[in-house]
Amino acid sequence: MAHVAPLPRDDAPEFEDYFRFLDANAGYVPNSFLTMARIPALLRGYLAFSSALSSLDRVDRGLKVLMSHLASSANGCRFCEAHTSHTAKKTGVDAARIAAVWEFERSALLDESERAALRLALAMGQSPNGVGPEHFEALRAHFDEEQIVEMVAAVCLFGFWNRWNDTLATDLERPVADLAQTLIGGRGWSAGRHRVVD
CATH of the domain at 148: 1.20.1290.10
Per-residue confidence (pLDDT) for residue 65, from 0 to 100: 97
Overall domain count for the chain: 2
Same domain, 82 and 157: yes
Say whether pLDDT at 188 is over 90: no
Phi, then psi, of 8 in degrees rounded to 5: -55, 135
Instruction: List, for residues 24-57, the tens digit of each pLDDT value.
Output: 988 899 999 999 999 999 999 999 999 999 999 9
Asked whether residue 72 is domain-assigned, the answer is yes
Quick one: pLDDT at residue 195?
96
> What does the alpha-carbon distance between residue 145 and residue 142 come to, in Å, rounded to a whole number?
10
Residue 41 lies in a domain: yes
Same-domain check for residues 135 and 164: yes
Range of the domain at 28: 11-55
Average pLDDT, the chain: 96
Residue of 82, 61, 66 whose CA lies nearest to 179: 82
- The mean per-residue pLDDT over the stretch 67-91 comes to 95
Average pLDDT of span 169-177: 96
**Residue 9: per-residue pLDDT:** 96
Radius of gyration for the alpha carbons in the chain, expressed in angstroms and rounded: 17
Residue 186: per-residue pLDDT: 85
Euclidean distance between CA atoms 51 and 53, whole angstroms:
5
Q: 92-141 pLDDT, tens per residue?
A: 999 999 988 999 999 999 999 999 999 999 999 998 999 999 999 999 99
